[in-house]
Amino acid sequence: MPLLSNFNIEVELMPVSAQGEVLLKSVYVSVDPYLRGKMNGTHPPIFELNEPAASKIIAEVVESNNESFKKGDYVSAYLKWQEYQVSDGTALQKIDSNTAPLSNYLGVLGITGLSAYIALMDIGKPKKGETMVVSGAAGAVGTIAGQIGKIMGCKVVGIVGTDEKIALLKTKFGYDEAINYKTAPDIKAAIAELCPEGVDIYFDNVGGTISDSVIANMNNYGRIPVCGTISNYNDIEEQTGPRLLPIVVYKFLTIQGFLIGDHAARFPGVTAQLAAWLKEGKITHSETILEGFDKLPAAFIGLFEGTNEGKMIVKIN
C-alpha cells in the first residue's frame, strides 16, 4: 500500500519555453488506479525513482513560442506532475472549454468514459434483458459503465464498499441493485439473490475475492471485460484464488483485458456519443476534486481506500 511518505514534493526553478515550445500550467490532474502499475513495474512506461510521476493532465498554455498554440488555450496530455512544464506541442490535444467543464475531459469525456464505453460494448456486448454486474461500481469507470448498461437495456447490479455508495448508485446512477461487499455475509449468495437469472456480463474493476463471487454466478456465454484489478495492485506476493479455466470451459466464458490506447481512432466518435448522452441527461457523472498540488499523494492513496465517488481529480491552484 503506497504511503504519503513515499512521495516527496520538490521546488525547482520555473522552466522557460524555447522557440517552438509552450509553457504549460497544470490545472486538473487525473489520479488513476493504473498508475500503481507504473510504480511496481507492471504497467510500462514505469515511473523512475526521484523523477516526477505523470498522468493525464488538463493544462493552460501560459506562454507560447509555438504557432499552433496561443496563450489561454487549454490542452490535454499525459504530462508530469509539475505545476509548470514546457512542451514542444506534440501530443498536446486542444480542448474546447465551452463544450463542457474542463475537468470532464479527464473523466466522462476522457479516458474514463472511453474505457467504460469501449470495454462494455466491445467485450461485454450488452443485449437487452441481460444482467450485468459491475465491481468498483461507484468509481470513475464503474459509474459510467453501469449507466451505459442501462441505456443498452440491461439489469445492472453494482458492488461497492459503503451503504452510502449503494444509495448513490440507485438514486443518481440508475443502478437496479447494489451490494456492500464489506457487510454482505456471503457475496456470492447476495449476487445470486439479486441476479436470479444469472450474470451475463461482469464488468470487473477490482479482481480478487469479489470477482470470484461474481464469476461463480456467471451464465453460459458470459463476458468479462477486465478493466482493472485494484484489489491486487498493492500485492507484494502473487495471490492465489479459485482456478478460472475450468469455469471458462464449462460455461464458455470470455475474459478479456484491453489497452484503451489501441482504440484511439474511435475516440472522437465515442466521445461525441458520451457528450450527447450527457447533454440529454441519459448519463450523469461524479468527480471528487481535491484542491492543491500537495493533495496529489493523498488523492492517489484514496483510490485504494475508496474515498472517491466517481473520478478522482486534483485541481492545481
Binding site for its own copies (CB under 8 A): 37, 42-43, 204, 207-208, 211, 220, 226-229, 232, 235, 238-246, 248-259, 262
Instruction: Decide: 54 and 1 in contact? Cβ < 8 Å.
Output: no
Smallest separation (angstroms) from its own copies to the CB of 115:
12
Residue 48's SS3 state is coil
60: region left, alpha or beta (phi > 0 left; psi from -120 to 50 alpha): beta
The residue (of 10 and 238) whose beta carbon lies closer to its own copies is 238
Smallest separation (angstroms) from its own copies to the CB of 136:
13
Smallest separation (angstroms) from its own copies to the CB of 250:
5
The residue (of 57 and 230) whose beta carbon lies closer to its own copies is 230
The residue (of 25 and 43) whose beta carbon lies closer to its own copies is 43
The residue (of 254 and 307) whose beta carbon lies closer to its own copies is 254
The residue (of 14 and 236) whose beta carbon lies closer to its own copies is 236
Identify the helix (H) or strand (E) that includes residue 248: helix 245-251
Measured CA to CA, the distance from residue 240 to residue 201 in angstroms comes to 23
Smallest separation (angstroms) from its own copies to the CB of 37:
7
Measured CA to CA, the distance from residue 152 to residue 209 in angstroms comes to 28
Measured CA to CA, the distance from residue 198 to residue 268 in angstroms comes to 35
Smallest separation (angstroms) from its own copies to the CB of 223:
10
CA angle 150, 309, 114 (to 5 degrees): 55
* Residue among 114, 26, 103 at smallest CA distance from 292: 26
Measured CA to CA, the distance from residue 119 to residue 122 in angstroms comes to 5
Smallest separation (angstroms) from its own copies to the CB of 268:
22
Measured CA to CA, the distance from residue 141 to residue 228 in angstroms comes to 10
Which three cell numbers, joined as nine digits, stand for 158? 453494482
The residue (of 72 and 241) whose beta carbon lies closer to its own copies is 241
How many Cβ atoms sit within 10 Å of the Cβ of residue 40?
14
Terminal Cα distance for the chain, rounded: 28
The residue (of 15 and 37) whose beta carbon lies closer to its own copies is 37
Smallest separation (angstroms) from its own copies to the CB of 205:
10
Instruction: Decide: 199 and 217 in contact? Cβ < 8 Å.
Output: yes
